[in-house]
Structure 1
């Protein structure tokens, strides 16, 4: 196996997780959850949320198959469940009926709901586990690892600099991005379900 970095896989991992985890779409939710908190607390929540998400994604990347085996859950089953959940989220984004969670003062929103399930949700977990299946050497391992790190860096940057971003794209821009993200997310959700169905059929054959 060549030791050269698999840039095609790197780009695929980054783009897929970027669309699923949606750093730009996270901005209005982050602003809502950290509303009324000091700038220092908001900045701390940003990196804590990214750290929690990275930890969850990493755990499932390394031990996801073992966890599913212990619970007697197949990857296609998790993939289908993740797709259905993502489809619900996508429909809420498209119709504008999303209910952004609010947190009581003093609650660490970086852990829940920011870190998980908003960032490290079923879609990102399933996508990461599928990419890990493609790892067969240093080249692919580095590509998947760098892709995950790059996406989380984007998430941190989006939340860390959310106020300047909001000033640039304004509320109408956030609304437009949210609708586009909902459309892309719905397509990803349908693809996850379709792949899961094909996997089920192939398993029966």
Structure 2
């Protein structure tokens, strides 16, 4: 049985909806309200399709490449942990992705859908939280539903972006991103340890 709260928290940490807000504001600053709303919708839908693809096909790709899932779980846990460390000690997600905005002028797809919303960490989480050997099709569908609920939060926050950034400021978004990084580091460590346990039959 899946832990809905833990699943929601993990997806919230790797997707980081609040950290997406300053990125969205920067990349859409020269658009009118109608265009911004359209960009928010397109970026959310594209991110959803990417993450759903990893939920459906991610594990089969690993099987085709003869990569055992526990090994991927260990590697995924390590990568997520390193990703979390960059959120905590390095540039926060908003700071890092603001640089992408300043050097590129794409809108809905880059850097919003990828890598802001459908981040590498989110893709890894989508695979790890829907293992075929651990979860039934129904449970995987429920996990996908939890993930989509986080994406709905992202969409709503982007629609309210100008109000949110006035409320918490860019520094507030940075603080939230670092707290999410700490939570993600704990989840990543747990995933890596679980993978080690299964791989070595402990």
Q: How does 1:78-93 map to 2 (within 5 A)?
A: 78-93=72-87
* Runs of 4+ residues deviating >4 angstroms: none
| Separation in 1, partners of 2:108, 2:69 | 28
CA RMSD of aligned residues (A): 2.6
Q: How many corresponding residue pairs?
A: 194
The range that moved more, 115-124 or 175-184, is 115-124
Instruction: Deviation per CA, 1:130-151: give whole Å up to 9, x if none.
Output: 333344364x355323212211
Contact 2:55 2:144 in 1 (8 A): no
| Separation in 2, partners of 1:37, 1:193 | 43
Contact 1:90 1:185 in 2 (8 A): yes
Runs (5+) with no aligned partner, structure 1:
1-5
TM-score, length basis structure 1: 0.78
Q: How does 1:184-199 map to 2 (within 5 A)?
A: 184-199=183-198
1:161 aligns with 2:160: yes
Runs (5+) with no aligned partner, structure 2:
none
1:104 aligns with 2:104: yes
Go from structure 1 to structure 2 and tell me whether the alpha carbon gap of 1:146 and 1:71 turns closer, same or farther (over 3 Å shift): same
Tell me the residue number matched to 2:116.
118
Contact 2:10 2:184 in 1 (8 A): no
Contact 2:44 2:113 in 1 (8 A): yes
Deviation for aligned residue 1:54: 1.0
| Separation in 2, partners of 1:180, 1:155 | 17
